[in-house]
Amino acid sequence: MIRILIVDDEEAIANLIRMNLVKAGYQCEVASDGEEAADAIQERAFDLILLDIMLPKLNGYEVLEYAKTMDTPVIFLTAMGETQQKVKGLKLGAEDYIAKPFEIAELLARVETVLRRYKKTESRLHFLDIEIDTDSRTVLQGGRVVDLTTKEYELLLLFLRNKNRALYRETIYENVWGGEYSGTGRTVDLHVQRLKKKLGLEEHIVAIYKVGYRLVSG
């Protein structure tokens, strides 16, 4: 499982990020200051670090130096939106920069992009007789190509990367369509029904009352 370190001294923000990343299938750890983050980086392996700049004890730029020694990609996550701060972070080796406040969907998309860049995500995913090649965005079932729309493909990918996990409709909508889920409309439900029918997954993509859906293996 992909391991992400979240470094932010604002507890509410760190917990919000952690909650949404966990929902998306990532394993997360939180550090509240620069020294704690540096210790974590040296002691444990991470696939990605989300890093605030203004931190107690060691600032984000100093923590970035620790991350570089481990060849761990970093996304700066900070309220400092000035261009000079962004340029400095990128020149020092950060992969990306997101200014607070941000949309969770944007954060998840940036995370996925950086992980793909570093080859941290699997290029082939399997479920029953279904295979996804994420490099070519091809879906095969029983060795035959299945024609899915872009949204159906993204939906299937989300389910396969979160097998046996309950996915809230909000999480599904934000990951596949982007933006904030309004709680109204049947966009998610209709696409899930079409995907189930196309791939014969009626018994495997199950509805969870007042929550969303889960892809079950058994």
Domains of the chain: 3-117 (3.40.50.2300), 124-215 (1.10.10.10)
- What mean pLDDT, rounded, does the chain reach? 87
Residue 147 has pLDDT above 80, yes or no: yes
Chain centroid to Cα 34, Å, comes to 23
| Residue 51 vs residues 10, 31, 100, 136: alpha-carbon distances, Å | 12, 10, 12, 31
* Range 158-181 average pLDDT: 80
Which of 92-106, 130-144, 168-182 shows the lowest mean pLDDT across its residues?
Answer: 168-182
Share of the chain above pLDDT 70, in %: 92
Q: How high is the pLDDT of residue 22?
A: 82
Q: Which residues, including other chains, have CB under 8 Å from residue 148's CB and lie 6 or more apart?
A: 139, 156, 195, 198
Q: How high is the pLDDT of residue 149?
A: 93
The HSE-up count of residue 197 (CA atoms within 13 Å, CB side) is 6
Highest mean pLDDT out of 47-56, 87-96, 125-134, 209-218: 47-56
Confidence of residue 172 (pLDDT cuts 50, 70, 90): confident
Element of type H or E holding 3? strand 3-7
Residues 180-193: pLDDT tens digits? Answer: 666 666 889 999 99
Residue 216 has pLDDT above 70, yes or no: yes
Q: How high is the pLDDT of residue 158?
A: 86
User: Is the backbone peptide bond immediately before 73 cis, with ω within 30 degrees of 0?
Assistant: no
Confidence of residue 35 (pLDDT cuts 50, 70, 90): very high
Share of the chain above pLDDT 90, in %: 47
Element of type H or E holding 99? strand 96-99
Residue 103 has pLDDT above 90, yes or no: no
Question: What is the value of pTM for the model shown?
Answer: 0.59
Q: How high is the pLDDT of residue 184?
A: 63
Which of 50-54, 69-73, 81-85, 92-96 shows the lowest mean pLDDT across its residues?
Answer: 81-85
* Range 3-17 average pLDDT: 94
Beta partners for residue 206, in sequence order: 214
Residue 98 has pLDDT above 80, yes or no: yes
